[in-house]
Amino acid sequence: MQRKLYRALAVLVILLIGIVLFVGFLPLGRATASALLLLPEFFPGAPARPLAWVTPAPVKSIVQLTYAGGASTADLYAPSTPGKHGAVIIFLGVAQAGRDDPRVVRLGEGLARVGLETMVPESQDLLNSKVDPSEIDEVVAAFQYLANRPEVDPTRIGIGGFCIGASLGLVAAEDPRINQQVALVNSFTGYDDLETYILSILTHSIVAYPPDPSSPRLPWEPAPNATLVLADHLISLDQSPDEAKLLRAAAHDPTAPRPDPAKLTATGRTIWSLLTTRDLAEAQRLLGELPPAAHAALLRLSPDTHLDQLHAKVFIMHDHEDATVPYVESRRLATQLPPSQVEYDEFELFNHVDPTASVSPLVFVRDTARLAGHMIQIISLLQVSG
């Protein structure tokens, strides 16, 4: 299957070159050509990178972002061509891969090669599985930094995110400081509501969407990493460092000593009970017992809290078999937005955010075409003409 995939990729690259030469003469030709040339950058092991043959290498620099919640480091990929450029923020969120990951570098370089100044912020808290509302300030700071650069067209700045980073990017796009300026948001396997996402992980089940009264919840097996990230996030709410250390050790290592509920604080007991139940009613009750600040954070970190403040065009993509964030989160998000504001697609080609699933050639071509369709629209909205 892998060999067939590479053959398909090789044929695709050859077709891309021919198509690019043709579409350059059509309306939206530049955006279409850019998207098709960019497409191989998404695929690990692609046999060729035609974008590198026809565009100059971008200029990479390191930027320090400061904001109310703290500070972070970001990589900035700037096009080598003169003139005004559109821009995009790529927000990775909670991930094992950082901004130096080859997949991230390829994407940053590729976007810059098609004329988009690309910023990839990296939060140490998110790398450590700590999700805090201050990350929204980080995305806002990145947006404002790009908007103030003289070579960037401030009307053509978008936000793209993966997994939790996608949802944080959506929340940032709702923020009154920038919500009138954001041109678009691309959400790749994000969640709609953090509480429903947490309940999905805890109970190993999802709410059927569209709603199905005969079967309101469906089985769903979360990936081990999703469970650990949730555990780390909940444990970060414990104000006792020693207790948090004990809970984290038990959550990460089945052979570690189990906490004695009688010796835990009230918050610690609630967190440990949450991590050890799969009962929906019990999980909902325990979430209700978390400190008020934790509830406020759940609302602040959920895109559906202020969707009326989201004015950007929204592109939503999700792996239908995603074991990290269930696809129903994106389905529900898409239906809450006006049809003219949203583009939505589900894929079989991806393993969460990597296009590495074993699929038939027909599915490969179908999903690649869908991905290309999204990229053409995104680039046409961000790319400065001329």
pLDDT tens readout for residues 188-218: 999 999 999 999 999 999 999 988 888 889 9
Q: How confident is the model at residue 27 (pLDDT cuts 50, 70, 90)?
A: very low
pLDDT tens for each residue of 317-358: 999 999 999 999 999 999 999 999 999 999 999 999 888 899
All residues at 6 or more sequence positions from 103 whose CB lies less than 8 Å from its CB, including other chains: 44, 97, 354
pLDDT score of 54: 87
Give the pair of three-digit tokens for residue 16.
């891309």
Distance CA 246, CA 224 (A): 20
Mutual orientation of helices 361-382 and 29-38 as an angle, nearest 10°? 130
Whether 381 shows a pLDDT value over 70: the answer reads: yes
Mutual orientation of helices 29-38 and 102-113 as an angle, nearest 10°? 160
Under DSSP, the state recorded for 349 is: S
Q: How confident is the model at residue 297 (pLDDT cuts 50, 70, 90)?
A: confident
Least Cα distance to 112 among 155, 80, 73 occurs for 80
Mean pLDDT of 265-288: 95
Share of the chain above pLDDT 70, in %: 91
Which residues are 186's β-sheet partners? 160, 315
pLDDT score of 244: 93
Domain 2-193+302-382 falls in which CATH fold?
A: Rossmann fold (3.40.50)
Q: How confident is the model at residue 21 (pLDDT cuts 50, 70, 90)?
A: very low
Distance CA 119, CA 99 (A): 10
Give the pair of three-digit tokens for residue 156.
């053509």
Which residues are 123's β-sheet partners? none
Whole-Å CA distances, 254 to 53, 240, 257, 335: 51, 22, 8, 40
Mean pLDDT of the chain: 89
Structure-token match 């993509």, residue found: 317
Distance CA 143, CA 312 (A): 14
pLDDT tens for each residue of 233-276: 899 888 899 999 999 999 999 899 899 999 999 999 999 999 99
Under DSSP, the state recorded for 363 is: H
For the chain, domain boundaries: 2-193+302-382, 195-298
Which residues are 184's β-sheet partners? 158, 313
Whether 1 shows a pLDDT value over 80: the answer reads: no
pLDDT score of 269: 95
pTM given for the model: 0.90
Which residues are 363's β-sheet partners? none
Q: How confident is the model at residue 134 (pLDDT cuts 50, 70, 90)?
A: confident
pLDDT tens for each residue of 44-78: 777 778 888 889 999 999 999 999 878 889 999 99
